[in-house]
Structure formats: structure tokens, C-alpha cells
Amino acid sequence: MASHYSSGKVVIYEKTKPVSTKQDLFNDDIYGTISLHYTILATQNMGFSLFILVATIATAVAFPMNHLAMPHGRLTDSSACLSWRWAVETNNIKYYSNEIPDNCSDYILSYMLGSQFRKDSKLVCDVAYEYAKGVNLTGDGMDVWIFDVDDTILSCVPYFLEQGSWELNIQSTLGEWTRRGEAQAIPETLNLYKKVIELGFKIVFITGMHEQESESRIKNLKEAGFTEWEKLIFKGNNELAYAEEFKSNRRRELVEAGYRIWGNIGDQWTDLTGTHVGDRTFKMPNPMYYVP
């Protein structure tokens, strides 16, 4: 299958593997680890630009709130990066995979590893749960809540950290990383998942990941806390449809089978657009890439 992504590459850092993918993404001091990594590199190279980078990350650790507002290093225009992220999340900018503005690469990393991503995710999930509580379920087992998988319930941030760029290499490194089964749950959607099950919804996962990854994916999901579901739908190994068409078709099949789709949550607009999208859709934050 031809990649839908452009060939541009946005470098997160110059040396790879400063952070272990086994590190607890949402609890460990990942900023501290990255800072230490750069300190070692700076000692070795004594390059001025690297020194600036160390200083940038060090201040991010010490003053995370000031970090985005202070003009230093590559974050000389963070307000422009905030505008860019807003335009991405509102679906005004499309087809930007691997086209993150160079001066926003650090900003995106700090956002994904910082408290704002967690706050944004929590708000989305809180709103989703408030809606879920108001749904009048029939109890016949046909009321479903759809979750996307990658960067909706399982985080791919360690993949990008390990790779050292925002490039999404679906045909090679992403598959290899996925098969290791080390993706971690995004805490806010794991919590939402548990709570909508308690309310009585059946869970349907629809993922653009191909069936050939199903074994490692299922193991990864269970280890991350996603232990039950009504259906787990992968993309066929040879299926060429773009995400919107693929997901619309699978949702249509669910509806034709008698399921009622109430909530539908995903990190990509193509999880939430097309047909049979459900009664309410909820967009998780993801400024890292765009899936057409």
C-alpha cells in the first residue's frame, strides 16, 4: 500500500533514543531524562546550538508554564505554534503530516509531554462522559461507544521519541514498534472507557492498524487495561481505503447489524467524519500528524 504521507522530516532531536519506550510516559520525569541526554551530548560536543537546546529544555523542566511564553531557542514564536495547533485541531489545516513547522517541533513535543495535553484530554473525556450519562440505554446490548486506538487510547509518543522525528513511517518503523506491544494507555481515555462500560455501553474499537498487527495489538491493549470489547476492528492487510472511507464502512456495517452508535471518540478528524459517525463525536488532541 502506498503511503499517504509526504516525505518531509521534522527532527525532534539530533540523537535517537533519549527516552526508553518502557518509561512510564505519563508519570516519569521524561523532561528530566531528555534534559540529561542533552547535557551529556553538550559535554561531548560543546556545540553552542546544543547548549541552547539544553538550556531550553532545562528551563522547560524548571519553569514549564514560562517555557512556552519565553522567547529562547527555537521557541521564538510559540504563539504562532499555538495558532498552528488550534488550526490543526479545528480541522482548518489538513494534510500536514510531516509538515509541522520547523520552529514548532519543540513546542509540539512539550505539549504532548506536558500538562496541557493531559488537561485537554481530560476535558474532552469529561464532556464525553457527561453526554454518556444522559443516554437512555435500552439494555439490549446494542448500544455502542466507538474508540479509535492509536493516540486515542494508546499513545504513540514513545514511537516518535525513539525515532527522533515526527515522521510516521507506517510501512516500516511504526509496524516494528507496534509489534513490540509497548504502547501505553492514555489515562484519560482509559478512565472514560471504564466509565462508559459501567454505564452499560458496549465497546467497539476501530483502528486503522492492519490485521497483521492484531496479535501484538490485542496483547498490548489488554496489558494497558483495555480488557474487554464487543468488537475490535482492524483494517484489512490489503485494504487501500483512506481512513474516513474505511471507518465509515465499518460503522455502516455496525448500524446495519442493529447496533446504535452513540459516542465516537478519536484523535483524527477522519475518525469522526464521513457517514454513520454516531450521535456525538469527541475529538482528542493530536497535533503530531494528520491521517487523511
Site size toward Mg ion, by CB under 5 A: 5
Q: Which of 152, 151, 215, 210 is nearest to 160 (CA)?
A: 151
In the complex, the smallest distance separating the C-beta of residue 26 from Mg ion, rounded to whole angstroms, is 17
Q: Is 286 helix (H, G, I), strand (E, B) or coil?
A: coil
By C-alpha distance, which of 173, 160, 151 is closest to 269?
Answer: 151
Residue nearest to Mg ion (CB): 150
Q: Interacting stretch for Mg ion, rule CB under 5 A, among 95-103, 111-119, 176-184, 267-275?
A: 267-275
List 106, 143, 150, 188, residue binding Mg ion (CB under 5 A): 150
CB of 226 to Mg ion, least distance (A): 14
184-185/154-155 β-pairing? antiparallel
166 phi/psi in degrees, rounded to 5: -90, 10
Least Cβ distance, residue 270 to Mg ion (angstroms): 9
Residue 137: other Cβ atoms inside 10 A = 15
Q: Which is nearer to Mg ion, 150 or 244 (CB)?
A: 150
DSSP string, 5-64: S-S---BS-SSS-SS-TTS-TTTS-HHHHHHHHHHHHHHHH--HHHHHHHHHHHHHHH-H
Stretch that binds Mg ion, among 75-83, 110-118, 147-155, 233-241 (CB under 5 A): 147-155
Is there binding between residue 151 and Mg ion (CB under 5 A)?
Answer: yes
Distance from C-alpha of 245 to C-alpha of 99, rounded to nearest angstrom: 23
Binding mask 106-145 for Mg ion (x = CB under 5 A): ----------------------------------------
First to last CA, the chain: 14
Applying CB under 5 A, among 182, 188, 244, 267 the residue interacting with Mg ion is: 267
The interface region with Mg ion, picked from 5-13, 62-70, 151-159, 246-254 by CB under 5 A, is 151-159
Taking CB under 5 A as the criterion, the residue among 68, 88, 135, 148 binding Mg ion is 148
| Site of interaction with Mg ion (CB under 5 A) | 148, 150-152, 267
